[in-house]
Amino acid sequence: MRAKLCLIGVVLMASALPVQAARPSPEARLAKTLEGRVAGKPVTCIPQRQIQSTEIFERTAIVYKMGRTWYVNRPVNGANFLDRNDVLVTDTRSPDLCNVDIVRLLDPGTRFQSGTVGLGNFVPYSKPKS
């Protein structure tokens, strides 16, 4: 009986390996997301009211989507806490989100804080005018 369970475990582990290997890295997913866009000059702040959505790339970056321009922020510290399923919580004293701000990450299931990140500069990416 033990031999059967071990064999089943080995088969399940082996079948999971190709799925993990096929998943693109966060850097590759970020590059795919920004495909066709051109980077602009980094800025220190962006207006919070204009942020339409955000996307987290694990241990890499946060993309703030604002109409035709998307801003990529690569945190200066705490990037290892970034998880695509987390919720971003910002507590700023101004209407802008800036490179000196700290963003808390919450696990949506437990609602416990899973980490914090210190934001870096925001690099705008826009589609070139045709």
Q: How many domains is the chain built from?
A: 1
Say if 5 falls within a structural domain: no
| CA dihedral sign of residues 69, 74, 78, 82 | positive
Separation CA 50–CA 46 (nearest Å): 8
Instruction: Give residue 54's domain range.
Output: 26-126
Band (130; pLDDT cuts 50, 70, 90):
confident
Say if 65 falls within a structural domain: yes
Rg of the Cα atoms in the chain? 19
Say if 89 falls within a structural domain: yes
Say if 17 falls within a structural domain: no
pLDDT in tens, 15-62: 555 555 678 999 999 999 999 999 999 999 999 999 999 999 999 999
Say if 20 falls within a structural domain: no
Say if 19 falls within a structural domain: no
pLDDT averaged over every residue in the chain: 89
